Structure 1
Amino acid sequence: MDSTDRPEPDFIDIVRDEWGRSYPEIDTSPIEIVGRITRISSQALHQLDRALAPSSVTRAEFEVLCALARSDRPLRTSEVTAVTMVSGAATTKHVERLVAVGFVERERFERDGRVVLLRVTDAGREFVDRELPRRIERDQRLLAGLDDGERAVLAGLLRRICRNSDDADRI
């Protein structure tokens, strides 16, 4: 491969080169992958924050709404916490706000009245129905230029990295 075949360096290439000069004894090759995953994630989340800003619904609140909207049943707060990966206290705070704006309602579990279940309201579902397709459109733009085969390979590789990350969390 000659220099004309090399892709133009991106931000992560520049960062890796800088680290390589500062710490030549360290293999910084993981930055090529994990750095890009982190950067893409940060940029995608920033885009979501900007898109949600006019609605006054935060990204974390949107994640709570999405967890409830895609569930086929009401969820306990602990279940929402598990799928959104935020603390229980933060989930409670987000739910309080979503209840106040009419996007989520609480109901008692019929077999144990001490248990509170969370359900997305019609207004909350309308919000998700409007915002989720917009989020998917932004994600589609991030994947522009990748054909179906490339997407499948990338998804498979990232799935393996996700499993590694999930396993590391359990240790």
Structure 2
Amino acid sequence: MSRGEVRKEDAATLEKNLRIISTRIRREGRKVLRDFPITPAQFDVLQTLFFQGEKRMSDISRNLGITKSTTTGLVKRLIDAGFIERRRSERDRRSFIIDISSSGKSLIEKVIDRRVEYLRSVMTEISTEQVISLEQIVSLLLEVMDSKKTAE
């Protein structure tokens, strides 16, 4: 199959639909947070640490696009709640490394489980052939996106 022209309207429709799907999945997963003393902004910090590993405070700020003072407040509350841990950097004793704790990992895993269960319940309404086709489309999109990312 050769590469073809894609109309801007088609790309805009796909972007809109993916955004709607992403928002609905995120909203469903965050229902888990109702049982925990954590805000969506704090959850964003947890996700960053869960998926990307330990970080310095400045890395968290840069990654999330928030000020260092905002990051300090979020991190302090997460430490107090036991969801993350702080330790001195071995390379630079003046700075601290922030990492997710086992209870933080457990919370993220509960949210992911909720998201997966939500998607599973939605996907049961779709035929097997359509699910396979959807998986192929998503796989192709990710493959092209990854190749563009490495080319930049």
Q: CA deviation at 1:154?
A: 2.0
Q: CA deviation at 1:49?
A: 2.9
**Aligned to 1:91, which of 71, 75, 79?**
71
Q: CA deviation at 1:120?
A: 1.7
Paired residues, what number? 139
Whichever residue aligns with residue 152 of structure 1, its letter is Q
**Aligned to 1:147, which of 120, 124, 131?**
131
**Aligned to 1:113, which of 78, 82, 93?**
93
In structure 1, the residue matched to 2:18 is: 37
Bigger CA radius of gyration: 1
Q: Does 1:53 align with 2:34?
A: yes
The higher-RCO structure (CA 8 Å, 6+ apart) is 2
Aligned-partner Cα distance in 1 for 2:104–2:73: 17
- Please, which runs of 5 or more residues in structure 1 have no aligned partner? 1-26
CA contact (8 A) 2:57 2:98 kept: yes
Segments of 4+ moved more than 6 angstroms: none
Whichever residue aligns with residue 86 of structure 1, its letter is G
Q: CA deviation at 1:103?
A: 1.0
Q: If the length of structure 1 is used for normalisation, what is the TM-score?
A: 0.61
Using a 3 Å threshold, how does the CA distance of structure 1 residues 60 and 28 change in structure 2: closer, same or farther? same
Q: CA deviation at 1:79?
A: 3.3
Identical aligned pairs, as a percentage? 22
CA contact (8 A) 2:29 2:115 kept: yes
Aligned-partner Cα distance in 2 for 1:163–1:98: 36
Aligned-partner Cα distance in 1 for 2:103–2:88: 20
- Please, which runs of 5 or more residues in structure 2 have no aligned partner? 1-7
Q: If the length of structure 2 is used for normalisation, what is the TM-score?
A: 0.67
